[in-house]
């Protein structure tokens, strides 16, 4: 049996010239936990061209969703640019990843720090009732260069609060805090700087980060992941992983980077 399922593209949404989301059919046997990633790809010259992508859809949805950055000379993402409804893509039968709540100890507040398409795994995390049963407050911090890059804001603030399954949780427990660094916006600055200065906490009305009560997931560029990790370690946070739950977990966003 092949390690991949053949799926069909159901919709494509271009947020900007660089950012695209698409949904596909989902083989009923495909299982994943919120926050995990899988390998997806296109068959090109009869050879599969595969990359890891976080699952942005909830584990209970009957379609899969992916959020990707398009890199002009990226072998796969340059082709994703032309993706259209009805196209076939291949999706691994397996999902994995460290950004799952089981890799975190119990705590009061869950911080989800995502920059760029590093938001993707957290979209499934915030649509999962288990997240809200485990944590009292869930703070989703999305950092981007530009306002136009703040994809999914409308879904998070508009649709999610009235969702049949997680609407009540989202209304009372989810704090969405988008911030940009290269435009004027209501929230400006790098997430790491907002944490270090304490501005974030006065803005979202939660106490400063404390390893005793807070748990953190990080996903973004290698530089963001490195700096956010340093910041947390300096505050006494311990990194967790499979079989060793602790106070924070991290993963680099899956992007074909040319910088
Ligand atoms: P900045 O505009 O100051 O570089 P990218 O698209 O490069 O992944 O960046 C997404 C967001 O993450 C941007 O707002 C960017 O800020 C920010 N960022 C990039 N590197 C870091 C870092 N090392 N620490 C904190 N934020 C970062």
Let me know: does 171 contact 161? Beta carbons within 8 Å: yes
Domain housing 56: 4-95
Q: Average pLDDT for residues 40-46, to the nearest whole number?
A: 84
Residue 68 has pLDDT above 90, yes or no: yes
User: What is the DSSP annotation of 109-125?
Assistant: EEEEEEEGGGGHHHHHH
State whether the beta carbon of 149 lies less than 6 angstroms from ligand 1.
no
Q: Is residue 257 part of a domain?
A: no
Considering the domain architecture, whether residues 212 and 231 belong to the same structural domain is answered as: yes
Largest CA distance in the chain: 54
DSSP state, residue 188: B
| Cβ neighbours, 10 Å, residue 222 | 11
Alpha carbons 80 and 3: distance in angstroms, whole number = 22
pLDDT score recorded for residue 47: 81
Let me know: does 104 contact 249? Beta carbons within 8 Å: yes
CATH of the domain at 201: 3.40.50.80
State whether the beta carbon of 229 lies less than 6 angstroms from ligand 1.
no
Alpha carbons 217 and 204: distance in angstroms, whole number = 17
Considering the domain architecture, whether residues 149 and 242 belong to the same structural domain is answered as: yes
Q: Is residue 194 part of a domain?
A: yes
96 — pLDDT class (breaks 50, 70, 90): very high
Please choose from 68, 146, 224 the residue to mutate so as to test ligand 1's pocket, defined by most ligand atoms within 8 A of CB: 224
Considering the domain architecture, whether residues 87 and 135 belong to the same structural domain is answered as: no
State whether the beta carbon of 192 lies less than 6 angstroms from ligand 1.
yes
Q: Using DSSP, state whether 154 is helix, strand or coil.
A: helix
State whether the beta carbon of 114 lies less than 6 angstroms from ligand 1.
no
Place of tokens 């790809």: 41
Residue 259 has pLDDT above 70, yes or no: no
Task: Work out how many domains the chain is built from and give that number.
Answer: 2
Q: Using DSSP, state whether 160 is helix, strand or coil.
A: helix
Quick: pLDDT tens for 10-23.
999 999 999 999 99
pLDDT score recorded for residue 1: 58
- Nearest-5° Cα angle at 14, 12 to 18: 130
CATH of the domain at 66: 2.40.30.10
pLDDT score recorded for residue 258: 38
The rounded Å distance from CA 10 to ligand 1 centre is 31
Residue 92 has pLDDT above 90, yes or no: yes
Q: Is residue 258 part of a domain?
A: no
Alpha carbons 77 and 80: distance in angstroms, whole number = 5
> Which of 95, 129, 155 is the endpoint of a domain?
95
Percent share of the chain, pLDDT over 70? 98
Nearest CA to ligand 1 atom 18: 224
Considering the domain architecture, whether residues 114 and 210 belong to the same structural domain is answered as: yes
Alpha carbons 64 and 217: distance in angstroms, whole number = 22
Question: Which of 36-50, 102-116, 197-211 comes out lowest in average pLDDT?
Answer: 36-50
Average pLDDT along the chain: 95
Q: Average pLDDT for residues 148-163, to the nearest whole number?
A: 98
Quick: pLDDT tens for 134-151.
999 999 999 999 999 999
Considering the domain architecture, whether residues 89 and 107 belong to the same structural domain is answered as: no
Place of tokens 């006065």: 202
**Atom in ligand 1 nearest the alpha carbon of residue 253:** 8
């Amino acid at each position: 049996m092949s390690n991949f399922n053949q799926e069909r593209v159901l919709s494509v949404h271009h947020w900007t010239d660089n950012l695209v989301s698409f949904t596909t059919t989902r083989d009923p046997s495909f299982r994943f936990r919120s926050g995990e990633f899988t390998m997806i790809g296109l068959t090109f010259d009869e050879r599969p061209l595969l990359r890891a992508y976080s699952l942005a859809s909830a584990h209970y949805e009957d379609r899969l969703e992916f959020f990707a950055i398009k890199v002009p000379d990226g072998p796969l993402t340059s082709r994703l640019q032309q993706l259209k409804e009805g196209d076939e893509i291949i999706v691994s039968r397996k999902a994995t990843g460290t950004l799952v709540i089981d890799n975190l100890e119990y705590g009061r507040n869950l911080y989800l720090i995502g920059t760029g398409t590093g938001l993707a795994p957290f979209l499934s995390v915030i649509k999962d009732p288990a997240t809200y049963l485990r944590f009292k407050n869930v703070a989703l911090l999305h950092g981007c260069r530009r306002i136009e890059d703040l994809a999914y804001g409308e879904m998070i603030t508009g649709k999610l609060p009235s969702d049949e399954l997680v609407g009540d949780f989202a209304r009372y427990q989810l704090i969405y805090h988008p911030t940009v660094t290269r435009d004027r916006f209501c929230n400006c600055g790098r997430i790491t700087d907002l944490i270090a200065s304490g501005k974030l906490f006065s803005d979202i009305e939660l106490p400063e980060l404390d390893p005793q009560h807070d748990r953190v997931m990080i996903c973004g560029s290698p530089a963001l992941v490195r700096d956010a990790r340093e910041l947390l370690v300096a505050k006494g946070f311990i990194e967790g992983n499979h079989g060793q739950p602790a106070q924070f977990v991290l993963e680099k966003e899956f992007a074909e980077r040319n910088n």
